[in-house]
Every structure is written in C-alpha cells, then in structure tokens.
Structure 1
C-alpha cells in the first residue's frame, strides 16, 4: 500500500473512532435515559422513530451538500448539528419535557446523522481511488469496523460507569464535547480527494438531480435496488433490538438500576464488532459471492433474535448477544463493498444516502410498533416479532444475488470499478 493510501485510511479511521466514541457514550443508556425522563416504552421508541424519520426527511437534502459542496463540508455540518441537538436532549431530560419536544429534537438529531451517512464512506472510496489504491475494500471497511468496535466498547462502558457514578445526563454532555473536538480535527485533516463538487446548480435543482440520480443508479439498477429494498427490515429491526436489549438485560439481571449492566450490552456488541471486522475479509474469501455472506448473516441474525426473545437466563442472553453482534459485524464490510462496487463515483454519496434513507424508513415504522409490543407482551416477545419481521429481507437479498453483478464476485477495488458502473437496468453477467 502506498503512503498516500495509508494516510487516507488513517484519516478515515480517526473520523470513525471519534464519531463512534461520541455516539457510544449514550448507546448503552439511551433507552433508560428516555424512560427516566418520564416517557413510556412506546414514547421512548417513538422518539427513536422520530429520529429515524428525520433521517428519512433530510437524507436527500444533505446528500445535495455532500455531492455539490463537498464531503468534508457535510461531515463538519454533521458534527455541529449533533453537538447542538445532543445538548438539547440533555436539557429536555433536565426539564422532563413533554413528548412533543422529544419528537422535535429527535428529528433534528436525525438531520445531524444524515450529514454523515454516505458522505464519509464516499470520501474514503473516492480518495483511495484517486491515490491508486488497488486492495480489498472489505479489508479497509473491516479495519474501520475494528476501530469503531474499540471506540464503541470504550464509550459504552464509560457511559454506563459514568451514569452509575453521576447521573444519566452526564454522558450526553460528554458526547457533545467530543463532537466539538471532532469538528476541529476534521477541519484540519480532511480534503476532498478524487472528487470535484458540482456547484453549477441551485439547491432546488440540485435536490431534484439527487432524487433523479438516486432512482437512476439505485432503484433502476436491479442488483442495487434489491439490496436497498432489504434495508428497511434489517435496519429497522436492528435499531430496535439494540436499544431494547438495554432494559431487557436489566430485566433478566434482576436490577433495573444497574446502568453498568445496560452499558454491558453495547460493550459486548462492540467486542463482537471488533471480531467481525477482523474476520470479515477472511470470511469473504470462503465464499465466491458477497451475497452469500449477506444472506447467511441475515439468517443468523433472525435466529439469534428469536433465541434472545425466548430465553430467560441472563448469561445465555449474553452469549446470544455476542452471536447476533458478530453476524452483524461480519456482514457490514461485505455489504458495503458490494454496494460501492456497483455505484459510479459521482453518484456514490447520493446512492449510499438513499440506501441509508430506506434503512431509516424501516425504523420509523418498526421501532414504535415493536415498542408497543414490548408494552403489551414484554421485551422478549417483541424481539421474537422483530426476528420474524427481518425474514422479509431475504427475498430481496436473493433477488439481488440473481442479477449476477460483477461486484458480487470482485475481490479488489479495481475488479468492479465503481467509477464505471453498468447502465441502469442493464446488469452485467458475472
């Protein structure tokens, strides 16, 4: 690997480290934080649904920023927006504000995350291409997963311990502070390489262009379309399960005030993520097609969720949690590499944001529905229902596999050149 490619990867890993550390400070206690503010299970997961609704609403407009102003500008706007809205979340907790305010601020939190979605990943792939990198994308994304797993473990453990020693609000204040630091770092080290922003259109016309290109290079290209259509089921259920496991583990443990145990859920997932990131490139070599890995992981996730919901023993829940987190971690880099190999460079951030939009749309509907199921029948039953819902992703994954896109069997970045994708609707044979 040449020195320029190493520098690009280092910057990417630093960004992923800082982002995940900031986010994970509250991941282990977020549901408990909302419940402590006086919200019911339904309201807590409805607040999360408003967050994902914000991501749906703003994915396209912020995609315009990434593609017409620049990936760096999009990242910087994301850090500022998230820092401010995280501080507002803390204030709502202090005031025990009514649900309507939680809904509003949650939407704005979603806005902050949409500045990140697609932009950082597109920045990485374009920059690597521009400096002559010819290695495996799975390996790069796998390293990113290892770094974010370490950051997630550190942040989630610290968040739980700090909340236990102080209160549930302090980790939110620390999260805002870390995001400010990341703004400064990104402003100094990020440069848009291999990508020239198109500023020839006004914001309204640019938004229309983004929507058109999302359809052209996303929904009209069959292999991409089916992967995107699978996203609402896997992402919607995954988001719910991640946050529902916090109170569910406390319930199995027998102490609803043991916030450190709640942080343990996120910590365990982070360790599974590290293992998955390390092994993802190796797992990929065991299969000829990337979609085989994606489909196998989806089945594993369904089985793990159902087993978690039917289980009543705390220690076994931890084992199943590791299994669920591992399959999620392994599939991430492979799915990323598969999608990136099918998208032209100019539209990369646009289509990746569109994929994120569909995943968020699933969370808007699935989270409050499963939250209501938890109110009525308990967390265990809601996880079983979630596993059944995730099964709906499988037909779309098989349909994507059936298109035989070159990216499905590619092993390196240049094997399926993301800068020269097949015409929409005209998938190539392997």
Structure 2
C-alpha cells in the first residue's frame, strides 16, 4: 500500500502530462525532420564533389555557426521567451536546408557550403537549451514531482523511435530517388513543426525578461553563463568535457555512414548508410528507457556518466581495428546503448545545478563549448580519414574522447548535491552559495 501511495504521489498531474506531451511532440517532430538526412548527409556532401576533409570541414562550419550564435540566441530565449526561440529555429532550419539542397544541385564551391553551414548552425542555436529549459520550468510550474531522468529518458526513447523511422526512410528515399530528396522532406516537416509549436508551446514557470538592448542583453547573458556555468566548478568541468565528447560525437555519427558502406562493399548502398543512424536510434530507444534503471544502480550520477564514457571510448577503438561488417554493427549498437543510457543522467545532473532564470543561457553555453569542440575536432578527424581511412580516424576519435574523463572526475570531486539528487528540482541560489566560492 505504501508503494502504491508513493507511485500516486509522483504520478504526473494533468497539467504536467500536457507539458510532457507537448515536449515529446516537439522532440519527435524535430528528430524526424533531422534524421531524414542523418543517414545520408556525408554521402550527400561527397556526392556534391567535396573531399572527406571538406565534408567534415563543412560540418565544422556548422559548429562554428553554433559557437557564434549560441549567446545571441540565448538572449532571445531568456528575453523574448523559449517559444519564440523555437519558432525562429524552425524557420531558419527550413530555409537553410533548402539552400543546402540547391548547393548540391549546383555542385557549388566549398566556400558556399561553409556559409550555409554557419547559417544551419544559427538555426540549431535557437533550439539548444531553449526547449530543455522550457520543459524543466514548465514541469516545475505544474507541480511535477517525479525525476528528470524519467522524462528525459522517455523523450530520448521517443526521439530514438523517430530517428529510426526517419533515418531508414531517408536512406530508402535517397536510393529510390536521389540524395537531395531527403533534404526537401526535412524542410517540409520543419514547416509543419512551426505550426504545431505555435499551438502547443507556451512559456510556463518562466516570464520572459522583455526586450532589451541587444548588446547589453548579450553581455548580461554572457555574464550569467560565466557566473552559473564556468564560474561553478562542477558545471564548468562538465562543460569542458563536452568539448571532447560533442566534437567526437559529431564526427563519429557522420563517419559511420561511409564506414559501413565501405565494409559492405557497395558504394551505392545508401540504405546501408542509413542503417548506422537506424541502429543508433534503436539503441537510443532502449537506452532512454533503461536510463532511470541505470541511475538507480549507482549512488552518484557521475559514476554512470564516467563509466559510459570509458566504455564508449573503448568501443571506438574496437571499431577502428575491426574489418567485419557484422561485428561493426554489434559494436555500433553497444556504442549507442551506453551513450543513450547515460545521456538523460547527464542532462538531469547539469539541470539540477542551474537556477531556473539562467537555465536556457547556461545550457546554451554548454552547447557552445560542445560546438567549439565540433569546429576544432571534426576537420582534424576528417583529415585523419583522408590519411588513414575511416578505421584509423575512429581510433583517433576514441583517444580524443577519453580526454573528457578527467574533467568529469573533477566535476565529481566537487561534491555537488546534484550528483546524488533524485528529484527534478534544480538547486536554489541559496544552495549554490552554500557550496562555497564558485571559482577556484
């Protein structure tokens, strides 16, 4: 009876269920749109006449765009509202996706790909941090008493299902038509999501600060990012780790497409390229569902995060020395599972260390550091693929990703209450002060 009462107390109320339903809808739509090109993106760039180095340099310019625009778009999220930020993101991504298609049609020079890639990065910065911050604040406003891992885990599982469908369909559509059609489908879905978000997404538990002078607002957002992000030791070290993990993650995800096609032995097998994204999406579904279970196996969240990173790095090394297609599929599945299971745990850990008013800002700043890693690391790994092939670049990827482990260990050493927290409530400013000086 006591267990039943506990379950009833933590069950979402109708308002919290509506918030979660809206979040899941947005997540599914965004992922479905994006995943239509994930399975074929690298092949698309190579088909446009780019080299491996240029293809991953184009991806790096996407990361550069995220670095440039993270703080300014954080101003939008924290002053005009998370809903406005999301709507601007869908429009920007739809337009730039169509431009990508036109560059492919014209076999445009690399400098044009670089410019449009930066604009794609702008589109994604409107999303980064804003939707996640909107969810956490809205749940708090509606009296949700469950754990964040549960919501993030379900979201990850649903996004994985959408990614599975989109990546498979993207590969099949590309093989049946051409590599450009998935990009047009993606743009169409984004327009639909604009309409959906305009109806279901409303800022709850957060009052936009209103219009402010752009330069002054950007300075305030940057200062808040430093104070509540880099200025707090446990948060800072997680951000530093994201430089390595995000940079490597970007590269590996797209390098797996030509890597599997190469192992399969048929350069025109676009559906095989989509298989990489499909396997990762399936792993994401399972990993997202088991994330709360994984969290309960360890007292501290950082234990889960660090162990998953070590295993992930070892799997990348194994992928690099492997030459068998079927073994590669098994290793790829393991890689996706460990990353997906730890993802919601890290999200909850970071969110629980950030005050509500600065949440979108700090999460965007975390994304900024990750994007910086993508801008720096992807061209390096792309060049390593030109020199030593995709297997050699995966070995290098595993080594670079392992550099994040010491930073996560340092975050663990700070003893933040968020490391052992079991509910969704972020630390209050008073709790932040009680933890001691933020820098040092």
In the superposition, the TM-score normalised over structure 1's length comes to: 0.98
| Equivalent in the alignment of 2:6 | none
- Mapped to 2, the partners of 1:327 and 1:75 lie a distance apart of 29
362, 370, 373: which is aligned to 1:351?
362
29, 40, 52: which is aligned to 1:18?
29
Structure 2 residue 297 is the aligned partner of structure 1 residue 286: yes
Per the alignment, do residues 239 and 421 of structure 1 end up closer, same or farther by CA in structure 2, a change over 3 Å counting? farther
| Equivalent in the alignment of 1:422 | 432
Q: Aligned-pair distance for 1:279? A: 0.2
Per the alignment, do residues 17 and 421 of structure 1 end up closer, same or farther by CA in structure 2, a change over 3 Å counting? farther
| Equivalent in the alignment of 2:248 | 237
Q: Aligned-pair distance for 1:198? A: 0.7
Q: Deviations over 1:275-314 (max 9, x none)?
A: 0000000000000000000000110110110000110000
117, 131, 137: which is aligned to 1:106?
117
Structure 2 residue 317 is the aligned partner of structure 1 residue 306: yes
- Mapped to 1, the partners of 2:107 and 2:254 lie a distance apart of 20
- The 5 A counterparts of 1:184-203 are 184-199=195-210, 201-203=212-214
Q: Aligned-pair distance for 1:200? A: 5.8
86, 89, 94: which is aligned to 1:78?
89
- Mapped to 2, the partners of 1:191 and 1:150 lie a distance apart of 25
SS at match of 1:412: coil
Q: Aligned-pair distance for 1:425? A: 7.0
Per the alignment, do residues 412 and 42 of structure 1 end up closer, same or farther by CA in structure 2, a change over 3 Å counting? same
| Equivalent in the alignment of 2:187 | 176
Q: Deviations over 1:335-364 (max 9, x none)?
A: 000000000000000000000000000010
Structure 2 residue 47 is the aligned partner of structure 1 residue 36: yes
- Mapped to 1, the partners of 2:396 and 2:215 lie a distance apart of 41
| Equivalent in the alignment of 1:146 | 157
- Mapped to 2, the partners of 1:407 and 1:258 lie a distance apart of 46
298, 308, 327: which is aligned to 1:316?
327
133, 147, 155: which is aligned to 1:136?
147
| Equivalent in the alignment of 1:380 | 391
Structure 2 residue 58 is the aligned partner of structure 1 residue 47: yes
Q: For the Cα contact (< 8 Å) 1:26–1:156, is it kept in 2?
A: yes
Q: Deviations over 1:161-202 (max 9, x none)?
A: 000000000000000000000000000111000000112631
Matched residue pairs, number? 427
SS at match of 1:321: helix
64, 78, 82: which is aligned to 2:75?
64
Q: Deviations over 1:206-242 (max 9, x none)?
A: 0000000000000111010000010010110011000
| Equivalent in the alignment of 2:260 | 249
Q: Aligned-pair distance for 1:423? A: 2.7
SS at match of 2:432: coil
- Mapped to 1, the partners of 2:430 and 2:194 lie a distance apart of 33
- Mapped to 2, the partners of 1:208 and 1:332 lie a distance apart of 30
Per the alignment, do residues 420 and 9 of structure 1 end up closer, same or farther by CA in structure 2, a change over 3 Å counting? farther
- Mapped to 2, the partners of 1:208 and 1:250 lie a distance apart of 47
Structure 2 residue 277 is the aligned partner of structure 1 residue 271: no
Per the alignment, do residues 421 and 179 of structure 1 end up closer, same or farther by CA in structure 2, a change over 3 Å counting? farther
Q: For the Cα contact (< 8 Å) 1:342–1:421, is it kept in 2?
A: no
User: Tell me, which stretches of 5 or more residues in structure 2 are unaligned?
Assistant: 1-11
Per the alignment, do residues 51 and 251 of structure 1 end up closer, same or farther by CA in structure 2, a change over 3 Å counting? same
Q: Deviations over 1:346-404 (max 9, x none)?
A: 00000000000000000101101000000011000000001001111011000000011
Q: For the Cα contact (< 8 Å) 1:244–1:379, is it kept in 2?
A: yes
Q: Aligned-pair distance for 1:133? A: 0.5
Q: Deviations over 1:112-136 (max 9, x none)?
A: 0000000000000000000101101
Q: Aligned-pair distance for 1:424? A: 9.1
Q: For the Cα contact (< 8 Å) 2:80–2:211, is it kept in 1?
A: no
Aligned-residue RMSD, C-alpha: 1.2
- Mapped to 2, the partners of 1:239 and 1:136 lie a distance apart of 29
SS at match of 2:78: helix
Which stretches of structure 1, 4 residues or longer, exceed 3 Å deviation after superposition?
Answer: 416-421
- Mapped to 2, the partners of 1:93 and 1:6 lie a distance apart of 43
